[in-house]
Amino acid sequence: MKKYISLLLSLTILLGCFGISFTAFGDDEVVINEQNFPDPVFMEIVKRYDSDNSGTLSAAERDESLIDVMALSGMVSDDAEVKTLKGIEYFADSLSVLRCGGINLEELDVSALYNLTSLTCEGNYLTSLDVSHNPKLITLKCMSNELTSLNLGNISNIETLYCFANSLESIDVSNLVNLKDFKCNQNELTSLDVSKNVNLQKFSCSLNHLRSLDLSNNTNLNTVVKSAIGGQTVTAPAAINGLQITVPFAVDDALCIRTTSLDKNDVFGYTMGEFATYDVSEIDSGIDYSYSVSNEKCEDMEVHIDVTRDFYQVSFYADEEMQELIGKRFVNKNEAARNPVELVLPQCKELDRWSSDVSNITEDIEVYAIWKDSHSYALKSFENGIATIACVNNDDSYTVAFVDCINATAKDSNYCEYLDVVADGYINAKDYAQLQKMF
């Protein structure tokens, strides 16, 4: 029995020495060591709270409502870096304000800080942040990190949320019914719903990828200017639609598109869910449009579309100076360009070829027509043995002496088809007699 009791006592001592929290000096004390505070700089900061230099933190020494890690790290060294705040959970009972911005944090776990009302952790290298276990949180400033994930869970007391200058592709603020000041600009957001944030007073979401934005429910907003919500950039592919270029583009409310860079005179550049144009030059630098956010206190949101395309434009001109445009063709890569439907041959001309090969298009090109003569001649007169042969379409003409062609056959160089009126392939007296009768 004594051996059994001795064994239990030994195990109790052993577990007390090597437990998770290493509270070997009593339940209310935390040993200041690498196990509890693995970051060396943060451990030096924690030592400042050890008022009796015992090497442990008592409950009283951990009774801190505000910890400013950034300020305290500067007291360790000018270039001090803190990678993790592991051990901050030992201050959970009293800690309500945590400031840890600009110290090069790579991770931050605040799940145990249930009394936290303010968290400032801007200017670090955090890629994710979870505050779903901090229901008392009122202020969260996590801007200028590398966040791709921000978990707000079901908390609802946040009034100030600054998460700008991150890499967030989405954010759910629907539960933040008390939100008054919200800045999420310069992220990767493609959509944003603030319809539940009816207490919102200050707001900015510029430099994201929003196509649409509805602020109709946010009647408490102060004036919102274009720079606060504009600078949106999105990408959309163009398509060939006959002789037209279209850019299919869906928005939440088509009627909210006020103006576009493709508007001309009374023709609106956006109809039936797509932008439309007839020239690649109007889309190669992108398309811009303004979008009404349905709130009279707010200016329109400016959006720029980077248009991609996998086809090319061939412009056909009638002259070498490329002043007279015949028409255009849109051609897929490595395909041949057909002649433009608008091609009309000049009088007494026919198309010999284009100035450049259009059988395998790999880029936008401009070509001009190289013409060759194509007269339609007929016998106009015959007098004193001289035949006048003229173009039926213009004044071009020339003369041929019958005597120069007498006895010529169709194979001879001096044969003239217009003098062979008998059409037997031989110019002789029969043709002469017939010509005399004709004229």
AA letter at 387? A
Give residue-wise pLDDT tens across range 341-366. Answer: 888 888 888 899 999 999 999 999 99
Residues 292 and 256: beta-carbon distance below 8 Å: yes
The predicted pLDDT at position 374 comes to: 81
Is residue 2 pLDDT above 70, yes or no? no
In whole angstroms, give the CA distance from residue 430 to residue 67: 122
Which residues, in sequence order, are CB contacts of 100 under 8 Å at separation 6+? 67, 69, 70, 82, 85, 108, 120, 121, 124
**Terminal Cα distance for the chain, rounded:** 150
Count CA atoms within 13 Å of residue 171 on its CB side.
28
Give residue-wise pLDDT tens across range 123-143. Answer: 999 999 999 999 999 999 999
The predicted pLDDT at position 16 comes to: 41
Give residue-wise pLDDT tens across range 398-411. Answer: 999 999 999 999 99
In whole angstroms, give the CA distance from residue 119 to residue 272: 47
Q: What is the CA radius of gyration of the chain?
A: 42
Residue 408 — φ and ψ, nearest 5°? -80, 145
Confidence of residue 14 (pLDDT cuts 50, 70, 90): very low
Q: How many residues in total does the chain contain?
A: 439
Residues 367 and 354: beta-carbon distance below 8 Å: yes
Give residue-wise pLDDT tens across range 198-250. Answer: 999 999 999 999 999 999 999 999 999 999 999 999 999 999 998 899 999 99
- The neighbouring-strand residues paired with 246 are 239, 276
In whole angstroms, give the CA distance from residue 327 to residue 348: 21
Scanning the structure block, which residue is given the tokens 């609106």? 268
pLDDT (mean) for 258-280 = 94
Q: Which of 287, 289, 108 has the alpha carbon at shortest distance from 213?
A: 289
CA distances to 42, 51, 104, 172, 417 from 47, in Å:
9, 8, 20, 39, 115
Residues 42 and 103: beta-carbon distance below 8 Å: no
CA distances to 77, 97, 104 from 100, in Å:
15, 10, 9
